[in-house]
Amino acid sequence: IPNCEFVPGKAEVVLPGLMSQLSSAGGGLTAVVNPSRAGLHPKVVRALRNQPSIHRLVYVSCKPDGEAMRNFRDLCCPPDPQRKLVGDAFSPTLAVPVDLFPHTPHCEVVLLFER
């Protein structure tokens, strides 16, 4: 994939350092996250939210009714300087449930956020 870069490591450690590189890359970037059931670390949410180059965010959630709901709220709420969420808010534009485990109550949800 020529226009894609994969960065290994814990997102809360790696992502804040990548933000300066993303700023020089121009706009129109898409980020893809697939966190554990615990959702994204608050540092990751802040880094994504406060990076104006990221216009689209694909969030793959294995438990959308759990801690991920906090992430969705923080990505979409009005700017809140006290919580260091100063970037433009995302808006959820698409949600697709994916039944990877038929005949069980578990379901993945792929959400698209845009701004």
- The domain that contains 66 carries what CATH number? 3.40.50.150
Residue 5 located in a structural domain:
no
Tell me what pLDDT residue 8 has. Answer: 86
pTM for the predicted model, two decimal places: 0.88
What are the b/e assignments for 24-56, b being 16+ CB within 10 Å? eeeeeeebebebeeebbbeebbbbbbbbeebbe
Tell me what pLDDT residue 4 has. Answer: 81
Q: Is 3 annotated as a binding residue?
A: no
Catalytic residues: 62
Gyration radius of the chain over CA positions: 14
Residue 22 located in a structural domain:
no
Q: In which residue ranges of the chain is pLDDT below 50?
A: none
Domain extent for 80: 11-17+27-114
Tell me what pLDDT residue 88 has. Answer: 95
Number of folded domains that form the chain? 1
Helix (H, G, I), strand (E, B) or coil at 106: coil
CA nearest neighbour of 112 among 94, 97, 96 = 94
Residue 39 located in a structural domain:
yes
